[in-house]
Amino acid sequence: MSLSPNVAAALETQATLELAAAQNYLAMSCWCEVQQYDGFARFFRKQAAEEREHAERLLKHLTDRDVVPHLGAIAAPNIAFKGLMSVAQAAYDLERANTRGIHQAYEAALAEKDYPAQVLLHWFISEQVEEEAWSDKLIAKIRDAGCSGALLSLDRHLEKILGGDSGAD
């Protein structure tokens, strides 16, 4: 089944959004590294790699269906964070924006009765449930860590705290 222009555009837009998320997570990772939060830095590096993989999945679907994707421009990521909470808030916002993008792409696939794209997007829809869950938890855990000692302990155990599969794929 050949891709309709609407579905192709929606998948291209989403691939660009995933790459933009990767850039943002990379910037967050660098910020955390400079602040000596090595656990957070590792965690966001991993998120950056995952977002890139998500983009690759979308691009592979496009090229498998004979479309050379138009990739969009990516704005420079923010690096002016006030603290870990503002980093976590940015991650939260990124994941919400990503979910909205996935749902829009899915709606395009539904409207065009594009079953292969729908199946592709099912994976992304459930992936976003996990991504939103860890970003919720991240905010809650930072809020609970009142003192710098508690933040350091959170940094050390971050990956375990956010769940074994928070960085899976």
Burial of 132 (0-12, 13-18, 19+ CB in 10 A): middle
Q: In the complex, what is the shortest distance from the CB of residue 95 to Fe ion, in angstroms, rounded to a whole number?
A: 5
Determine contact, residues 110/118, Cβ cutoff 8 Å: yes
- 119's enclosing H/E stretch is helix 115-144
Whole-angstrom distance, CA of residue 20 vs CA of residue 32: 19
- The two structure tokens encoding residue 22: 């990767």
Instruction: Please report whether residue 131 would count as binding Fe ion according to CB under 5 A.
Output: yes
Is residue 117 a contact partner of residue 7, using CB atoms and an 8 Å limit? Answer: yes
Minimum CB distance to Fe ion, residue 61 (Å): 14
- How near is the Cβ of 38 to Fe ion at its closest, in Å? 21
Backbone angles phi, psi at 149, to 5 degrees: -65, -40
Listed ranges 49-57, 106-114, 143-151, 157-165: which one lies at the site for Fe ion (CB under 5 A): 49-57
Tell the smallest beta-carbon distance from residue 14 to Fe ion (Å): 9
Check residue 45 for interaction with Fe ion (CB under 5 A).
no
User: Which residue number places its CB atom closest to Fe ion?
Assistant: 54
Strands (E), the chain: none
Between 2 and 41, how does the x/- string for binding to Fe ion read (CB under 5 A)? ----------------x-----------------------
Cβ 34 to Fe ion shortest distance, Å: 23
Tokens 């592709």: give the residue: 120
Q: Which of residues 50-89 bind Fe ion (CB under 5 A)?
A: 51, 54
Q: Which stretch binds Fe ion (CB under 5 A): 4-12, 38-46, 65-73, 128-136?
A: 128-136
Q: What is the DSSP letter of 70?
A: -
Residues of this chain that bind Fe ion (CB under 5 A): 18, 51, 54, 131
